[in-house]
Amino acid sequence: MLDSPFCCCFNGQRSDDEPADRDPVLLVSGIAGSILHSKKKNFFGFESRVWVRLLLADFEFRKEIWSLYNPETGYVESLDDSIEIVVPEDDYGLYAIDILDPALWVKILHLTEVYHFHDMIDMLVECGYKKGTTLFGHGFDFRQSNRIDKAMDGLKAKLETAYEASGGRKVNLISHSMGGLLVTCFMYLHNDVFTKYVNKWITIATPFQGAPGCVNDSLLTGLQFVDGFKSFFFVSRWSMHQLVVECPSIYEMLPNPWFKWKKQPEILVWRSKSEEGGETSVVLESYGPTDSMTLFEEALKHNELDYEGKKFALPFNFSILKWANGTRQILNSAQLPKGIAFYNIYGISNDTPLDVCYGTQDSPIEEMSEICHTSPQYSYVDGDGTVPAESAKADNFEAVERVGVASSHRALLRDEKVFELVKKWLGVTEQVKSHPKKTSKVMDVYQSEC
């Protein structure tokens, strides 16, 4: 049998009988930070990667990932009812959060845009962590709510696996971005389990109070993960828009209306208004975190999705908003259990959207639905380019340490300063060995042999 990282990866057991020499680490990804597979519901259960992929990305995304929210279950369900979206659990959960498109040509070109936890996994392996004994990963279906049962059950199972595989040692969590909100929800809803299994929690770039500019704009015009020439090989901004309108996770990252912002986030719209006598005037309208819901409703009232010849209405979803408000109450109420050390790394020195503006005084918006096809203009604050530092460091927990690092949202996961902090807080150093170092070798799961 070949010594593949995927061997024995489904039973959660250690690959050898050596006792763990350190507390295990569980890496928790964030929004769009997990590989997703489309799995046929028939007997054979064939799986294919649909996120992330750089070849045929937009076509496969529309075909497999486009979804609708089911208010009866609380889950997002793919429009193609013959499939389900799953997260691969290979390599002890690390495969799904390592290189998000593990195709050979991506590795040859070293396209860092899809290198997610890869460098951090390498660093931890070099420090002596062993996959399946003291190093695990947790990816999840990021379309879903951060507090949905399946998400909570998945994290609980990973904590139990890491705890048992390491011989009963408590787990050190390292979360990134929205993964920190997932952990917060779990800590609130399963406080006893969290207390039993967790020793330390290090969170990186978590939008504790929301990501105002980016999330507000994503609901109106979509998301662009890759810029410039490379964007032609990736999912289009509009395809992402038609997904996020139905994603509870996005609504859960709207700006917290109860948080005391230094400056309240706003959506600004230059509007053309008809006056008596047939004349028109141009006014600048402002919408805060609460009254922006009226704007979303008006702007998205004609939004629809064309899927295989069928039309699906995709207005602003008030059922999701109601659910997300419940999540926000959980996030506002969560408390760190006694005895658990908490550390927070947040990004600084990057222009980060806070307010977003549509239209101009010379070219105002006439119908609010025009906003969805208008290029946004931002006003910026300090942060990581996605999450304002003000939001990321406002965790409301008693932290051992909070540190701002001059790096962007995704680049924080490969930043040397972040690595030094993580090693210090974990109490480990990189090991110098005479034989070649082990790295987090990422393979295509369909080419591995066990």
HSE at residue 265, side-chain half, CA atoms within 13 A, is: 30
Backbone angles phi, psi at 301, to 5 degrees: -65, -25
Answer yes or no: are the C-beta atoms of 331 and 180 closer than 8 Å.
no
Query: The tokens 């109860």 sit on which residue?
Result: 258
Q: Which residue among the candidates 91, 122, 384, 415 is catalytic per the annotation?
A: 384
Q: Which residue among the candidates 67, 177, 218, 239 is catalytic per the annotation?
A: 177
3-state secondary structure of 229: helix
Say how far apart CA 205 and CA 344 lie, in whole Å: 8
CB-based contacts of 72, cutoff 8 Å, min separation 6: none
Say how far apart CA 236 and CA 230 lie, in whole Å: 11
HSE at residue 99, side-chain half, CA atoms within 13 A, is: 21
Phi-psi region of 326 (alpha: psi -120 to 50; beta: other; left: phi over 0): alpha
Retrieve residue 171's tokens. Answer: 């787990």
Catalytic residue check, 384: yes
CB-based contacts of 310, cutoff 8 Å, min separation 6: none
Distance, C-alpha 429 to centroid of its chain: 28
Retrieve residue 148's tokens. Answer: 């949905």
Q: Which residue among the candidates 116, 118, 241, 409 is catalytic per the annotation?
A: 409
Beta carbons within 10 angstroms of residue 82's beta carbon: 9
Answer yes or no: are the C-beta atoms of 400 and 342 closer than 8 Å.
yes
What ranges make up the beta strands (E) of 41-176? 47-51, 67-69, 76-78, 83-86, 135-138, 171-176
Retrieve residue 152's tokens. Answer: 């909570």
Retrieve residue 218's tokens. Answer: 């994503």
Is 242 exposed, middle or buried, given 0-12, 13-18 or 19+ CB atoms closer than 10 A?
buried
Is 342 exposed, middle or buried, given 0-12, 13-18 or 19+ CB atoms closer than 10 A?
buried
Cis? peptide before 52, omega within 30° of 0:
yes
Catalytic residue check, 177: yes
Retrieve residue 20's tokens. Answer: 């763990």
End-to-end Cα spacing for the chain = 6
Residues marked active site are found at 177, 384, 409
